[in-house]
Amino acid sequence: MDDGVWHKWWDGVSPWKGWELLDKPVSPSIVVSTTKNQTGGAIRVSGKGFTPGGRVKFYVENLVNQKNPFHLTEDLADAQGQFSEKTNFFQANCWRNQVNPAVIRAVDVVTGASATGTSNAYTC
């Protein structure tokens, strides 16, 4: 279990010794890349600094006439708290009247910490 401040990995065999302070709280960052295509663009996201083995949810923000962010997809970070663009990609379709880049947000579900990047996939 890991909440970004305290953690303890327990194998279920050894006796439980209690919580330990994390050496370094999570500090996520992401890289967003976009390949434009005829219907918008393919967005790929890689990241690091997330909770090891924790769930990461992806959202898009800053779209014209879209008041709230909306959920795109989710993934699990690996044992080092990273994920690859090979497993995190999705097609974004043109968004009517969108002229500015959209914000792509990756949220560490365990801690609530997030990282952002931008994509022009929604502009056409």
* 12-24 average pLDDT score: 58
Tell whether the model's pLDDT for residue 1 goes beyond 50: no
Which one has a higher pLDDT value, 18 or 66? 66
Give me the pLDDT at residue 2, please: 44
Q: What pLDDT, in 10s, does the model give residues 67-98?
A: 888 899 999 999 999 999 887 788 999 999 99
Domain range annotation of the chain: 25-119
- Under 8 Å between Cβ of 123 and 98: yes
CATH number of 25-119: 2.60.40.230
pLDDT of residue 71: 92
**Cα dihedral sign, 79-85-86-87:** positive
Please write the tens of the pLDDT for every residue from 19-70. Answer: 555 555 678 999 999 999 999 999 999 999 999 999 999 999 999 999 888 8
- Identify which has the larger pLDDT, 14 or 33: 33
What pLDDT score was predicted for residue 89? 84
Phi first, then psi, for residue 101 (nearest 5°) are -60, 150
Residue 114 has which token pair? 């997030």
Both tokens assigned to 64: 């014209």
| Dihedral sign of CA atoms 98, 75, 105, 34 in order | negative
Nearest to 46 by CA among 33, 57, 36: 33
Tens of pLDDT, residue by residue over 95-116, are: 999 999 999 999 999 888 999 9
